[in-house]
């Protein structure tokens, strides 16, 4: 797998990244205690996770909105399954904010009892694939092959997060188990303020106009890209080792796939998409 496999660990049919995975924690995840007011962002990798981490934190933290309390994204909205900071989640004050890339069937059973709120964020998979290619190659240095080789791996689900199609379909088809709101990367991009209102409504959070301005201002691509706390800069330099470099925020656009896929690759992708997503009711936005 062009060197990527050694960075992955397959557990119950799903590819995790090995680092910083605590497999004992993952084996007991079903019993992880969920609180009524926990909030989870669920994404397939490269769908805008970091964006929603920033947004959730800004919505919940007045300190963050005011630019005080200098914390990194990872400390504000930690990943459930990748506990970089070795936090004691049980000690975290409520409301706890979490991110996860987990498939629906691996999350704690408390979530399946609709105990907490979940926002599932998805992005058109051609852009996901392109973002992932750059990330695997240029940020993580875990992939050395061509775009075509990456596309094959992505379409076979041999990447962290496993198969994109399974992830979204699994969550959507089991949505009645969860208290879940589906949102797209693209709607955020097209109307950030309207999307923040939608998120707040789902979460039952009322924000003043002034607070709303502060959230929107600090969640734009330009502001996040220049903010090392919002761009995983420290995690990248300290958490993964010397070969890992760059930023999570790369281009932040809709339709970058047009700069990557050949006509033949695009047709092949479309065929697979149509076969896999036949009868799937959610809409995808492919262009700005
Ligand atoms: P690109 O590589 O296409 O630029 P994740 O956090 O799930 O890994 O997703 C990363 C992708 O989300 C990157 O996509 C990144 O640039 C984009 N992103 C992050 N914050 C963003 C923002 N504020 N506005 C637009 N895109 C953003």
Determine how many CB atoms are found less than 10 A away from the CB of residue 31. 10
What does the pLDDT read at residue 70? 87
CA of 193 to the centre of ligand 1 (A): 17
Torsion angle, CA of 203/221/187/205, rounded to 10 degrees? 10
What does the pLDDT read at residue 131? 97
CB 112, CB 76: distance < 8 Å: no
Determine how β-strand 14-17 pairs with β-strand 97-100. unpaired
217 lines ligand 1 (CB under 6 A): no
CA of 57 to the centre of ligand 1 (A): 16
248 lines ligand 1 (CB under 6 A): yes
Instruction: Determine which residue's CA is closest to atom 25 belonging to ligand 1.
Output: 252
Of all helices (H) and strands (E), which one includes residue 48? Answer: none
**Choice from 43, 168, 225, 252 to test ligand 1 binding pocket (greatest atom count within 8 A of CB):** 252
The SS3 call for residue 143 is coil
Q: What's the half-sphere exposure (Cβ side, CA atoms, 13 Å) at 143?
A: 23
CB 230, CB 253: distance < 8 Å: no
Q: For the chain, what is the radius of gyration of the CA atoms?
A: 18
CB 181, CB 56: distance < 8 Å: no
β-bridge partners, 181: 119
**Choice from 17, 41, 42, 51 to test ligand 1 binding pocket (greatest atom count within 8 A of CB):** 51
Domain 5-123+160-249 has CATH 2.102.10.10: no
With a CB cutoff of 8 Å and minimum separation 6, the contacts of 86 are none
Domain boundaries, the chain: 5-123+160-249
CB 64, CB 230: distance < 8 Å: no
What does the pLDDT read at residue 231? 78
The SS3 call for residue 119 is strand
One digit per residue, the tens of pLDDT, for the chain of length 288 reads 455 788 999 999 999 998 888 999 999 999 999 999 999 999 999 999 999 999 999 999 999 999 988 899 889 999 999 998 899 999 999 999 999 999 999 999 999 988 899 999 999 999 999 999 999 998 878 899 999 999 999 999 999 999 999 999 999 999 999 999 999 999 999 999 999 999 999 999 999 999 999 999 999 999 999 888 887 776 666 656 666 666 778 999 999 999 999 999 999 999 999 999 999 999 999 998
Catalytic residues: 101
CA of 224 to the centre of ligand 1 (A): 10
- DSSP-derived secondary structure for 231-257: TTHHIIIIIS-TT--S-S-S---S-GG
What does the pLDDT read at residue 244? 64
Q: How far apart are CA 196 and CA 284, in angstroms?
A: 19
ipTM associated with this complex: 0.99
What does the pLDDT read at residue 271? 98
What does the pLDDT read at residue 239? 57
CA of 137 to the centre of ligand 1 (A): 16
Instruction: Determine which residue's CA is closest to atom 8 belonging to ligand 1.
Output: 46
């Amino acid at each position: 797998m062009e060197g990527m496999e050694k960075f992955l660990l397959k557990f119950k049919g799903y590819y995790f990244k090995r680092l910083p995975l605590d497999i004992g924690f993952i084996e007991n995840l079903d019993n992880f205690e969920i609180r009524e007011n926990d909030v989870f962002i669920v994404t397939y990798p490269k769908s805008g996770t970091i964006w929603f981490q920033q947004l959730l934190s800004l919505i919940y933290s007045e300190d963050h909105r005011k630019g005080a309390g200098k914390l990194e994204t990872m400390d504000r909205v930690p990943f459930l399954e990748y506990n970089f900071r070795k936090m004691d989640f049980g000690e975290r004050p409520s409301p706890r904010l979490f991110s996860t890339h987990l498939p629906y069937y691996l999350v704690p059973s408390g979530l399946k009892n609709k105990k907490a709120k979940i926002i599932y964020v998805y992005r058109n998979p051609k852009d996901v694939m392109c973002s992932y290619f750059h990330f695997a190659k240029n940020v993580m240095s875990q992939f050395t092959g061509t775009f075509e080789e990456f596309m094959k791996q992505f379409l076979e689900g041999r990447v962290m997060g496993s198969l994109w199609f399974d992830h979204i379909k699994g969550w959507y088809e089991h949505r009645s188990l969860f208290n879940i709101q589906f949102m797209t990367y693209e709607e955020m991009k097209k109307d950030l303020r309207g999307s923040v209102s939608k998120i707040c409504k789902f979460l039952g959070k009322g924000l003043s106009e002034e607070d709303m301005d502060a959230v929107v201002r600090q969640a734009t691509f330009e502001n996040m890209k220049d903010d090392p706390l919002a761009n995983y800069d420290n995690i990248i330099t300290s958490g993964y080792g010397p070969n890992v470099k760059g930023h999570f925020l790369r281009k932040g656009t809709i339709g970058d796939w047009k700069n990557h896929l050949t006509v033949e690759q695009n047709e092949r992708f479309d065929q697979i998409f149509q076969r896999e997503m036949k009868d799937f009711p959610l809409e995808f936005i492919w262009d700005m």
